[in-house]
């Protein structure tokens, strides 16, 4: 999902003031879909199968029934979709812009207190956003396969600036302050919210936001509110469900059940489904698929920019 200059994908983003039901998954392979599935993907690795500690063979993530698909640039929304064209554990169709998804280098560039202080080059970037303690830093470290690229902490609200990480010397992962800062003062919360919103509204190189949602707990209103704010301000997003390997006792629901409820809430607000994917920083679930998805959005952005 892309920012204001990319109207093609924004059509799938802006919330509606009324309810609209989800689209059904179609798994019939047509000639058109087969051609799309054969599109070149560079050297992108195939999504890895993950084994859990206490099982001989990991079960594939379960998708909610009647999953509404996200169609990237290059694929007609009316095209039939085969199961092998979907990124595992997601609603994301792989299209012709998918390319090399490998992370070869990751370098911390610096932190910024304001959007105006961010790097001035024209490299595309993805912002990582979510509720405090949702696993933002862990996801960044998992994507880069490097320990402590982003600082992890058990204390919510550790990230207090806009932090840029340069990937492969060609694009950025941006770690943003979490919202709902349980350990922060009211003044700090207001300041962080203000400069984060300024970043979203003024950052022309922003390809999209990875909005992290904790799948191990029931739907949180603060996540829905954040998604609505981004949508109404034409900021593109991908829902990244974290902690999909965990079931928290006493907090209700399996991850797939919590995701289903969250998507039902979002589905009533969006005319076309935003992309989403299931992940786990513990098992590596969704890592390769998310990078592949980001590659097709980034390559489309690069193509449009030139």
Beta bridge pairs of residue 240 = 212, 277
Confirm whether pTM is higher than 0.85: no
Strands of 113-255, DSSP E: 125-130, 162-167, 171-175, 206-214, 237-242
Q: Which residue has the tokens 């970037």?
A: 125
Residues 6+ apart with CB under 8 A from 204: 3, 5
Give whole-number Cα distances, 156 to 177, 178, 185, 187, 193, in Å. 10, 8, 12, 16, 15
As given in the structure block, the two tokens for residue 83 are 């199961």
- DSSP assignment of 224-246 equals HHHHHHHHHTT--EEEEEE-TT-
Question: Alpha-carbon distance 30 to 41, whole Å?
Answer: 20
Dist. CA 206–CA 194, nearest whole Å: 17
Q: Quick one: how far is CA 54 from the chain centroid?
A: 28
> Strand pairing partners for 111?
163
Residue 78 CB-density burial (10 A; 0-12 exposed, 13-18 middle, 19+ buried)? exposed
User: What token pair was written down for 19?
Assistant: 């309810």
Q: Single out the residue of 241, 207, 239, 228 nearest to residue 270, CA to CA.
A: 228
Asked if residue 289 has pLDDT above 50, the reply is yes
- Looking at the predicted structure, is the pLDDT value of residue 28 above 60? no
* Residue of 202, 302, 290, 306 whose CA lies nearest to 241: 290
Among 16-30, 215-229, 277-291, the range scoring the smallest mean pLDDT is 16-30
Q: What is the pLDDT of residues 31-87, one digit of tens each?
A: 323 333 333 333 334 444 444 444 334 455 566 656 789 999 999 888 888 889 999
Residue 253 confidence class, pLDDT cut points 50, 70, 90: confident
The CA-based angle 122-126-127, given to 5 degrees, is 115
- As a whole number of angstroms, the longest Cα–Cα distance in the chain is 57
DSSP label of 204: T
């Amino acid at each position: 999902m892309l920012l204001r200059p990319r109207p093609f994908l924004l059509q799938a983003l802006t919330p509606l003031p009324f309810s609209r039901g989800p689209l059904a998954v179609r798994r019939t392979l047509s000639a058109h879909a087969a051609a799309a599935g054969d599109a070149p993907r560079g050297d992108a690795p195939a999504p890895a199968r993950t084994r859990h500690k206490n099982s001989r063979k990991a079960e594939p993530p379960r998708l909610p029934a009647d999953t509404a698909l996200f169609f990237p640039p290059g694929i007609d929304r009316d095209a039939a979709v085969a199961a092998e064209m979907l990124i595992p554990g997601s609603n994301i169709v792989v299209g012709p812009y998918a390319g090399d998804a490998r992370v070869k280098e990751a370098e911390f560039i610096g932190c910024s207190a304001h959007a105006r202080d961010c790097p001035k080059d024209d490299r595309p970037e993805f912002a990582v956003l979510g509720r405090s303690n949702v696993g933002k830093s862990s996801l960044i470290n998992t994507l880069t396969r490097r320990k402590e690229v982003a600082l992890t902490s058990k204390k919510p609200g550790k990230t207090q600036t806009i932090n840029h990480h340069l990937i492969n010397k060609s694009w950025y992962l941006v770690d943003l302050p979490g919202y709902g800062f349980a350990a922060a003062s009211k003044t700090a919360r207001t300041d962080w919210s203000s400069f984060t919103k300024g970043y979203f509204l003024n950052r022309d190189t922003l390809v999209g936001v990875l909005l992290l949602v904790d799948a191990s707990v029931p739907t949180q209103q603060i996540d829905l509110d954040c998604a609505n704010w981004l949508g109404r301000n034409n900021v593109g997003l991908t829902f990244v469900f974290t902690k999909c390997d965990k079931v928290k006792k006493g907090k209700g629901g399996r991850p797939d059940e919590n995701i289903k409820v969250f998507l039902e809430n979002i589905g009533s607000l969006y005319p076309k489904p935003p992309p989403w994917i299931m992940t786990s920083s513990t098992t590596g679930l969704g890592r390769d698929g998310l990078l592949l998805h980001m590659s097709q959005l980034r390559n489309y952005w690069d193509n449009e920019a030139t």
